[in-house]
Amino acid sequence: MPTYLPAKLMRLHFSEHHRYKGKPLYEAIVEKCLELKIAGTTVLRGLEGYGGMAQIHRSHLLTHELPIVVTIVDSAENIERLAPIVEGMMDTGLIAVSDVQIKRIQKRNPPANA
């Protein structure tokens, strides 16, 4: 049976038009996570969604306001350290934190056709 380690998964939900210090918010968050040596971060762009204001976020002919989800995985301690920093970067949005079990897969010599 594989051994999994306890960790935290943080999901940040906001719109692609959100910015932080002149750059897209998701870029600023990924850069901050890298600076803080957070284990992993992925940015996902949704097709459509809505949040607490019940305003639909989707691509239009003249504007793009697609939903963005940033997923961040690390130890509970590192997520707790990151949380107030990310909160300070966001004007509006949602932060969800969940307990997860993780196992890093890293093969030394991947097959040539992989």
Tens-place pLDDT, residues 19-71: 999 999 999 999 999 999 999 999 999 887 776 655 655 555 555 678 999 99
Angle between helices 76-89 and 25-35 (to 10 degrees): 140
- For residue 52, the model assigns a pLDDT of 64
Residue 14 has pLDDT above 80, yes or no: yes
- For residue 1, the model assigns a pLDDT of 59
Residue 98 has pLDDT above 80, yes or no: yes
- For residue 47, the model assigns a pLDDT of 80
- For residue 84, the model assigns a pLDDT of 98
Domain ranges of the chain: 5-102
- For residue 104, the model assigns a pLDDT of 85
- For residue 5, the model assigns a pLDDT of 94
**Adjacency order of strands within the sheet including 5-15:** 40-45, 67-74, 5-15, 94-102
pLDDT band for position 85 (cuts 50, 70, 90): very high
Kindly state the average pLDDT of the residues 81-106: 95
Fold of 5-102: Alpha-Beta Plaits (3.30.70)
Average pLDDT, the chain: 88
